[in-house]
Structure 1
Amino acid sequence: MTIEQGTKENPWKLQTPPQSSEYEMYKSEKDGKEILVCTVGKTVLHYDYRCIADLHEMLKQHGDWIDLGSTDEQKPAKEGTVEAWGRSLENPVGGWYGLKKGLRGRFGMYLPPLLEVLGLAEVEHNPKNNRMRARVS
């Protein structure tokens, strides 16, 4: 019997786009809502689970490479980036996919590698200024 990946017992083991840091993600539930739990060192972030499908759909509609633009919640996100989309009033949830106030940023750092592992996107792995796009099947 194999344990399904993406669970607390068997999390996805990921690396940031520059491949400079390792972290884990898994699907969980909080207050009746499906969430992604992202553990980076001792820091635990939560994202709305639907961000996987929503980000994939946005990438398909965008049709080309898009800058990741990862930054902390307290800093403004560069327009036209994955990070800006992950907190935009124009996205499907009408705001932040990050769920823990103070730790809602870094969407453009931690979500792209998950979409890559799931086969939904291609992600660049340069030291900085990385981009992603929907995987063409």
Structure 2
Amino acid sequence: MAGSGTESDPWVLRTPPGSSEYTMYRDGDQIVCMVGSTRLTYQARAIDDLHEWLRQQGGWVLLGAADEQKPATEGTVEAWGRSESNPVGGWYGTRKGYRGRFGMYLPPLLEELGMVELEHNPRNNRVRALAQA
């Protein structure tokens, strides 16, 4: 595993298509995602909550990454990450204006942690929970 998930030793990840590198680290109850100089933050509980939701889906789920200002396609990881029916009742992203892209940045972290299988195609990638994580 690349990095230990701290600010001084972050996880070094790549987007599902492999086109961009970014880092993530845990800071208390948040996951900080640094994409270049852009800082996104997500609730840390998203790691376990997303894994559990994917387990419940029982198969492949489209990522559906979208910026906060754009609608998310129903049934995707992105839509679930902002849905009122998820465990936090809405956005896992915590910084208004930068709450989207959940479907782009969280699944590679779960893959790094050994919790999911993730496709790495140029587009329309999917993710599924591993049986035991």
Instruction: Normalising by structure 1, report the TM-score.
Output: 0.93
| Correspondence list, 1:79-90, <5 A | 79-90=74-85
Q: Map of 1:64-103 to 2, 5 A cutoff?
A: 64-103=59-98
Percentage of matched positions with identical amino acids? 65
Return the alpha-carbon distance in structure 2 between the equivalents of residues 110 and 122 of structure 1: 14
User: Where do 1:1-137 residues align within 5 Å?
Assistant: 5-29=4-28, 34-137=29-132
**Offset of 1:71 from its aligned partner?**
0.4
Quote the offset at 1:135 in angstroms: 1.1
**Match for 1:17: what amino acid?**
P
Unaligned runs of 5+ in 2: none
Aligned residue pairs total 130
Deviations 1:32-84 (A, max 9, x none): xx100000001000000000000000011111000000000000000000000
- CA-based RMSD of the aligned residues comes to 0.8
Could you tell me which runs of 5 or more consecutive residues in structure 1 were left unpaired when the two chains were aligned: none
Distance 2:32 2:56 in 1: 27
Instruction: Please identify runs of 4+ aligned residues in structure 1 that moved more than 6 A.
Output: none
Report the AA paired with residue 26 of structure 1: Y
Q: Which has the larger radius of gyration?
A: 1
Distance in 2 of aligned mates of 1:131 and 1:26: 23
Distance 2:131 2:112 in 1: 14
**Structure 2: which amino acid aligns with 1:14?**
L
C-alpha deviation, 1:136, in angstroms: 2.3
DSSP 3-state at the match of 1:17:
coil
